[in-house]
Chain A
Amino acid sequence: MAIGWAAMSTPSIGVLAVQGDFREHLAALTRLGAEAVSVRRPSEIDSLDGLILPGGESTTIDRLSRVFDLREPIQTAIAGGLPVYGSCAGMIMLADTIVDPHRGQQTFGGLDITVRRNAFGRQVSSFESDLEVNGLPEEGGPYRAVFIRAPWVEQLGDDVETLATVDYDGETRIVAVRQDNLMATSFHPEITGDDRIHEHFISIVTAAAR
Chain B
Amino acid sequence: MTTTPNPASVATDRVKRGMADMLKGGVIMDVVTAEQAKIAQDAGAVAVMALERVPADIRAQGGVSRMSDPDMIQSIIESVSIPVMAKARIGHFVEAQVLQSLGVDYIDESEVLTPADYTNHIDKWAFDAPFVCGATNLGEALRRITEGAAMIRSKGEAGTGDVSNATTHMRTIAGEIRRLTSLSHDELYVAAKELQAPYELVAEIARTGVLPVVLFTAGGIATPADAAMMMQLGAQGVFVGSGIFKSGNPEQRAAAIVKATTFYDDPDTIAQVSRGLGEAMVGINVDDIPQPHRLAERGW
Contacts and interface: CB of A to CB of B under 8 A. Distances in A.
A165 interface: yes
Most buried by B among A118, A146, A168: A146
B81 A191 contact: no
Interface string B283-298: 0000000000000000
SS class, residues of chain B in contact with chain A: loop
A23 interface: yes
Contacts of A167: 2-5
Interface string B30-51: 0000000000011111110000
A89 B81 contact: no
Interface residues of A, number: 51
Interface in A61-99: 63-64, 67-68, 88-89
Contact of A56 (B3, B25, B80, B100): B25
A23 B214 CA distance: 12
A11 interface: no
Interface stretch (A1-9, A126-134, A178-186): A126-134
Contact of A21 (B24, B44, B106, B128): B24
B15 A20 contact: no
Nearest to A125: B10
Contact of B2 (A21, A88, A147, A172): A172
Interface string B245-279: 00000000001001100110000000000000000
Contact of A117 (B19, B47, B81, B100): B81
A164 to B, nearest CB: 7
A88 B10 CA distance: 17
B109 to A, nearest CB: 16
B26 to A, nearest CB: 5
Contact of B81 (A40, A118, A127, A172): A118
Nearest to B17: A191
B44 to A, nearest CB: 4
Given A40-B262, A56-B25, A188 B18 contact: yes
B46 A56 contact: yes
Interface of A: 17-24, 40, 55-57, 59-60, 63-64, 67-68, 88-89, 100, 102-103, 117-118, 122-132, 134, 142, 146-149, 164-168, 172, 188, 191-192
**Top 7 A-B residue pairs of the complex, sorted by shortest distance between their CB atoms:** A123-B105, A129-B5, A128-B9, A21-B21, A19-B25, A63-B44, A57-B46
17 contacts: A19-B44, A20-B24, A20-B25, A24-B21, A56-B23, A57-B83, A63-B43, A64-B258, A88-B22, A124-B100, A124-B103, A129-B9, A131-B3, A166-B2, A167-B3, A167-B5, A168-B4
